[in-house]
């Protein structure tokens, strides 16, 4: 299986810096902002974005994790993975701007599950979506608000995001 690297460490850092600025601009600052990463790599990306937003806006941004495993509609088709902890920042999400953060947007099913999971926790005023890689092939009408990189790929290819926190290296590769 051949792999080609499409984003390296500097590319990922640049994309996240741009997304952090776009989130702040869209939200008109960092007030009432919460970042929720979708495990596994979305959590690492949310933490990085929170650090960037904090350094730009000179204020902390709450970060949490939102596991969507039990809300997925395709559990029968895919091997079951162990649910990860959901960690909602103190104060909850009611009335807040919640930015869901994930590594790759493909069919949109994970994000649909995330919206269902959010609904079971509270009622944010606004929900936005930040994605490192948008590879297309949507099955649901879901579109990200903030995109690191559009990477067209075939359905047969696999887009692998590797992050230092999980994999010891920052890169995005297309395999297949």
State mean pLDDT over 30-45.
97
Q: Does residue 167 have a pLDDT over 80?
A: yes
- C-beta neighbour count of 126 within 10 angstroms: 14
Q: 138 CB contacts (<8 Å, ≥6 apart)?
A: 105, 106, 107, 108
Which listed CATH number (3.40.50.880, 2.60.130.10, 3.40.50.1220, 3.40.50.2020) goes with 3-74+85-175?
Answer: 3.40.50.2020
Give the start-to-end residue ranges of the domains of the chain: 3-74+85-175
Dihedral sign for Cα atoms in the order 84, 89, 90, 93: negative
pTM for this structure? 0.95
Residue for token pair 């995005």: 172
**9 confidence band (pLDDT: 50, 70, 90):** very high
State mean pLDDT over 112-128.
96
Residue scoring higher pLDDT (168 or 69): 168
Percent of the chain with pLDDT strictly greater than 90: 88
At residue 50, the 3 state secondary structure works out as helix
Is 2 within 8 Å of 158 (Cβ atoms)?
Answer: no
| Cβ-based burial of 85 (10 A; exposed 0-12, middle 13-18, buried ≥19) | exposed
Q: What integer best gives the mean pLDDT of the chain?
A: 94
For residue 47, the model assigns a pLDDT of: 98
């Amino acid at each position: 299986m051949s792999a080609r690297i499409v984003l390296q460490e500097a590319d990922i850092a640049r994309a996240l810096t741009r997304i952090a600025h776009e989130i702040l601009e869209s939200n008109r600052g960092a007030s009432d902002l919460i970042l929720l990463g979708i495990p596994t790599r979305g959590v690492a990306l949310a933490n990085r974005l929170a650090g960037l937003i904090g350094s730009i806006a000179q204020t902390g941004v709450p970060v949490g994790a939102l596991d969507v495993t039990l809300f997925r509609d395709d559990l029968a088709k895919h091997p079951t993975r162990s649910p990860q902890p959901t960690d909602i920042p103190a104060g909850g999400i009611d009335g807040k701007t919640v930015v869901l953060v994930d590594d790759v947007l493909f069919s949109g099913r994970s994000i649909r599950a995330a919206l269902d999971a959010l609904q079971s926790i509270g009622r944010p005023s606004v929900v936005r979506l930040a994605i490192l890689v948008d590879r297309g092939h949507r099955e649901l009408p879901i579109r990200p608000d903030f995109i690191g990189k559009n990477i067209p790929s075939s359905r047969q290819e696999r887009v692998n995001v590797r992050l230092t926190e999980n994999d010891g290296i920052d890169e995005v590769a297309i395999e297949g």
